[in-house]
Amino acid sequence: MLHLLGYLYGRHGQVKRGTAYLLIAAQLEPANAEVLQTLAHLLVLGGEAGKALTTIERLEELESAAHPALALLKGRALLAAGRPVEARRSFQDFLAQRELNDHA
C-alpha cells in the first residue's frame, strides 16, 4: 500500500511526499526491487541523484540479471549527478540490453 501511495503522489507532482512513503516502504521491505526502483525514480525527479544512485546500487545487488530499465534509470541518475561520461555508458548499456531482449 505504501508503494502505491508513493507512486501515486510522485506521478501527481508531489515528489517529496511520494518519496517519504517509498522510504518507509523500503524500510519495511528492503529487498523489494519494485519499491526500490520507484524510489530511485522519484529521487532523481526530486533532484537527489546521489541518493538515487545509492538506491540503484542496492538494486544492482538484488537483481541477478541485468534489466534494461535499471540501466536507463542509472543513466538518468548519473546525468542528474553531473556525470555525463558514465551516464552515456549506462545509456549504451540500456540500448544493448534492450536489443538483446528484442532478439531473444
Nearest 5°: CA angle at 54, between 49 and 60?
120
Residue 68 has a pLDDT of 85
pTM above 0.85, yes or no: yes
Q: What pLDDT does 99 receive?
A: 83
Residue 65 — left, alpha, or beta (φ > 0 → left; ψ -120 to 50 → alpha)?
beta
Given the C-alpha cell 530499465, which residue does it identify? 69
Q: What is the DSSP letter of 34?
A: H
Residue ranges of domains in the chain? 2-103
Query: What class does CATH assign to 2-103?
Result: mainly alpha
Low-confidence ranges of the chain (pLDDT < 70): 64-66, 104
9-27 pLDDT per residue, tens: 999 999 999 999 999 999 9
- Percent share of the chain, pLDDT over 90: 83
pLDDT, mean over the chain = 92
